[in-house]
Chains A and B, each alone.
Chain A
Amino acid sequence: NAGVTQTPKFQVLKTGQSMTLQCAQDMNHNSMYWYRQDPGMGLRLIYYSASEGTTDKGEVPNGYNVSRLNKREFSLRLESAAPSQTSVYFCASGTGSLNEQYFGPGTRLTVT
């Protein structure tokens, strides 16, 4: 039982390049989330998916797109990377009436 997995662990992009961050969970959770973590700002929600086939914007969606490929997988795409998107990105999945969330190990992204 791997929990929530993310790839890649590290990535360096040049401004304007695109990339997709991958996330998968094996806990049969309905909800999945993408957050970014910046120093002194906690975690901010980018996009979420309450169930397979649905996605919604979070607090900071600009510059990102997501795909809920199936119940297990939820990807985050940067179409044209900007230095302001340098951050650590976490994927999480949630379950139950309390929405207890489980987090992946993160992807550290640097945009130069």
Chain B
Amino acid sequence: AQSVTQLGSHVSVSEGALVLLRCNYSSSVPPYLFWYVQYPNQGLQLLLKYTSAATLVKGINGFEAEFKKSETSFHLTKPSAHMSDAAEYFCAVSDKGSARQLTFGSGTQLTVLP
């Protein structure tokens, strides 16, 4: 069974600083990986996805993530945090079966300090 671990349930950064949100996966085969963002009282919105076409994936709002098979990681980064980035971020892994279920990490709440 596949699983996702997000290190750090809360991360605080100053506005303009680097954002780094960590995600490690456990899967017997190279999976599909996703990052979602959830703003307060809203549903989840897809930030970016890893499809095996390229190890560095660029998403919306200036975020990107790098797939590292040797480290089983898919960390999310953004060079310069903005106040509007404050939200909860979820890493998810998808199996390749017919139903293609998503398994989510427990989430990381990002706070951006002025």
Q: Which A residues lie at the B interface, using CB under 8 A?
A: 4, 31, 33, 40-45, 48, 50, 56, 58, 90, 92, 94, 98-106
Interface residues in B, total, Cβ within 8 A:
24
A102 to B98 Cα, complex, angstroms: 18
Chain B residues 80-107 with CB under 8 Å of chain A are 90, 94, 98-107
| Minimum distance in angstroms from A103 CB to a CB of chain B | 4
| Minimum distance in angstroms from B80 CB to a CB of chain A | 27
A100 touches B105 (CB 8 A): no
* Chain A residues, CB < 8 A from B45: 103
Main SS class of interface, A: strand
B75 contacts the other chain (Cβ, under 8 Å)?
no
* Chain A residues, CB < 8 A from B101: 33, 45, 48, 58, 99
Q: Which B residues lie at the A interface, using CB under 8 A?
A: 9, 32, 34, 36, 41-46, 49, 51, 90, 94, 98-107
B49 touches A42 (CB 8 A): no
Question: Which 3 residue pairs spanning A and B have beta carbons closest together?
Answer: A99-B100, A103-B43, A42-B104
Q: A99-B32, A100-B49 are in contact. Are A94 and B90 (CB under 8 A)?
A: no
Question: Can you list 26 residue pairs at the A/B interface with Cβ under 8 Å?
Answer: A31-B99, A40-B9, A42-B104, A42-B106, A42-B107, A45-B101, A45-B103, A48-B101, A50-B98, A50-B99, A56-B99, A58-B101, A90-B43, A90-B44, A98-B51, A98-B94, A98-B100, A99-B32, A99-B100, A100-B46, A100-B49, A101-B102, A102-B46, A105-B43, A106-B41, A106-B43
B99 touches A48 (CB 8 A): yes
| Chain B: CB-nearest residue to A50 | B99
| Chain B: CB-nearest residue to A95 | B100
Contact of A31 (CB < 8 Å), options: B34, B36, B41, B100: B100
| Chain A: CB-nearest residue to B36 | A103
A94 to B46 Cα, complex, angstroms: 12
A103 touches B44 (CB 8 A): yes
| Minimum distance in angstroms from B7 CB to a CB of chain A | 14
A35 to B105 Cα, complex, angstroms: 13
